[in-house]
């Protein structure tokens, strides 16, 4: 019964975001033309090797003069941010989420304040939080892993056989570089 109620509220929230999303203009921005990148990261999925790969990926953008914004999600209570080095970051944990897994209104305002050309959702879990962050984000191109029913949150969705950061990042880059205006 609880799951049915939760599903009803989630679907209602998704529909409201769909209406808001229609008012926001989204463009396809090539990775080569992007001046700002946002990454949605579920820290609970990251092992030390993944964290190293993600930090290397962030540094590669910074050396090119691209601004990087991190939207870090951690589902562990009393957790701390793993990506504190980024001046542009939003940290989301259970203390800043409601019972549906949606960020509180103050976190939603933080998410909306960052404007990015491309937002890449690297979360492969079934949690709704990362998709909701993509729906709220002020991004021109939102991309993520294909999940049925979540299409309203993205301009580009990609399906992978292996959902490991080391494999996903080059694939996202490949498709995002193909988006030439």
Domain definitions of the chain by residue range = 2-177
4 or 62, greater pLDDT = 62
Residue 19's pLDDT band, with cuts at 50, 70 and 90, is very low
Could you report the per-residue pLDDT of 128-172, keeping only the tens digit for each? Answer: 889 889 888 989 989 888 888 888 888 888 887 766 667 777 777
C-alpha 97/C-alpha 37 separation (Å) is 24
pLDDT at 16 over 60: yes
Backbone angles phi, psi at 69, to 5 degrees: -115, 130
Q: Are 13 and 93 in contact (CB under 8 A)?
A: no
pTM attached to this predicted model:
0.82
Q: Strand, helix or coil at 89?
A: strand
Q: pLDDT band for position 91 (50/70/90)?
A: very high
Backbone angles phi, psi at 123, to 5 degrees: -85, 120
% the chain with pLDDT above 90: 24
Stretch 92-116: mean pLDDT: 90
Crossing angle for the helix pair 2-23 and 129-136, to the nearest 10 degrees: 20
**CATH label, 2-177, candidates 3.40.50, 2.60.40, 1.10.10, 3.90.320:** 3.40.50
Strand partners, 72: 41, 91
Both structure tokens of 147: 């999940």
End-to-end CA distance of the chain: 48
Single out the residue of 161, 154, 175 nearest to residue 14, CA to CA: 154
| Average pLDDT over every residue of 53-75 | 90
């Amino acid at each position: 019964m609880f799951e049915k109620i939760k599903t009803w509220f989630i679907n209602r929230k998704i529909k409201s975001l769909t209406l808001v999303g229609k008012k926001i203009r989204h463009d396809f921005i090539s990775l080569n033309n992007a001046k700002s990148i946002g990454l949605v990261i579920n820290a609970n999925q990251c092992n030390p090797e993944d964290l190293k790969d993600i930090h290397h990926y962030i540094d590669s953008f910074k050396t090119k003069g691209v601004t990087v914004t991190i939207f870090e999600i951690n589902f562990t209570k009393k957790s701390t941010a793993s990506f504190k080095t980024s001046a542009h970051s939003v940290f989301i944990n259970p203390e800043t989420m409601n019972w549906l897994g949606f960020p509180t209104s103050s976190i939603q305002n933080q998410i909306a304040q960052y404007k990015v050309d491309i937002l890449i959702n690297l979360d492969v879990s079934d949690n709704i939080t990362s998709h909701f962050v993509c729906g709220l984000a002020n991004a021109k191109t939102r991309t993520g892993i294909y999940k049925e029913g979540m299409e309203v949150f993205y301009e580009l969705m990609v399906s992978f056989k292996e959902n490991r950061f080391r494999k996903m990042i080059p694939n996202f880059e490949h498709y995002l570089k193909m988006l030439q205006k």
